[in-house]
């Protein structure tokens, strides 16, 4: 994101509600031949993931099914399709 103030405010808010975050400001990057400056927030780790799911969650099935696979099996096979993950979760829950 290129709005530094927004990133700083969001980082402060996330820290205030208990997330451990990583913030990187003024990252130089090239895109389509243009020099850009962007800012990033990183949220890493199991505790942060669980906190995220309890407070915010995912509405995108792609990410939600990856989380469900990880919760159920301890990992999510890379490069699987959402439909494959849904099928694996459905089969597993009936066994």
Mean pLDDT in consecutive groups of 10 residues from the start of the chain, 95 residues? 92 97 95 94 96 95 96 94 94 66
Is residue 53 within 8 Å of residue 68, measured between CB atoms?
A: no
Token output for 16: 């205030």
The half-sphere exposure of 26 on its side-chain side, counting CA atoms within 13 A, is: 0
- 26's enclosing H/E stretch is strand 21-31
The pTM of this model reads 0.78
Q: What is the pLDDT of residue 94?
A: 61
Q: What is the pLDDT of residue 91?
A: 83
């Amino acid at each position: 994101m290129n709005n530094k103030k927004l990133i700083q405010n969001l980082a402060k808010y996330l820290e205030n509600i208990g997330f451990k975050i990583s913030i990187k400001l003024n990252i130089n990057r090239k895109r389509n031949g243009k020099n850009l400056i962007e800012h990033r927030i990183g949220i890493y780790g199991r505790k942060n993931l669980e906190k995220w799911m309890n407070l915010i969650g995912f509405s995108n099935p792609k990410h939600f099914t990856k989380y469900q696979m990880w919760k159920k099996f301890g990992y999510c096979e890379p490069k699987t399709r959402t439909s494959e993950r849904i099928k694996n979760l459905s089969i597993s829950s009936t066994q």
